[in-house]
Amino acid sequence: MTSLAGQLLVAMPQMGDPRFARSVIYLCTHSGDGGAMGLVINKLLGSLSLAELLKQLDIECGDFARTQPVHFGGPVEPGRGFVLHTADYREEATLEISGNIAVTATLDIMRAIGKGEGPRHSLFALGYAGWAPGQLDAEIQANGWLAVPADEEIVFDRDHDGKWRRALAKIGVELTAFSSEVGHA
- Residue positions counted in the chain: 185
Query: Quick one: pLDDT band at residue 178, thresholds 50, 70, 90?
Result: low
Task: Name which of 64-73, 88-97, 112-121, 133-142 the model is least confident about.
Answer: 64-73
Q: What are phi and psi of 157, to 5 degrees?
A: -65, 145
Query: Quick one: pLDDT band at residue 184, thresholds 50, 70, 90?
Result: very low
Beta bridge partners of 126: 72, 81
pTM over 0.85: yes
Q: Pick from 3, 43, 63, 33: which is nearest to 129 by CA?
A: 43
Q: Pick from 50, 2, 5, 44: which is nearest to 26 by CA?
A: 5
Q: Pick from 168, 177, 81: which is nearest to 127 by CA?
A: 81
CB 6 within 8 A of CB 95: no
Q: pLDDT tens digits, residue range 126-157? A: 999 999 999 999 999 999 999 999 999 999 99
With 90 as the cut, is the pLDDT of residue 2 above it?
A: no
Look up residue 102 and give its DSSP letter.
Answer: E
CB 105 within 8 A of CB 80: yes
Nearest 5°: the CA angle 35, 38, 43 is 145
With 80 as the cut, is the pLDDT of residue 89 above it?
A: yes
Percentage helix, strand, coil for the chain under 3-state DSSP, each rounded to 5: 25, 35, 40
Fold of 7-177: VC0467-like (3.40.1740)
Distance from C-alpha of 166 to C-alpha of 29, rounded to nearest angstrom: 23
With 80 as the cut, is the pLDDT of residue 65 above it?
A: no
With 90 as the cut, is the pLDDT of residue 1 above it?
A: no
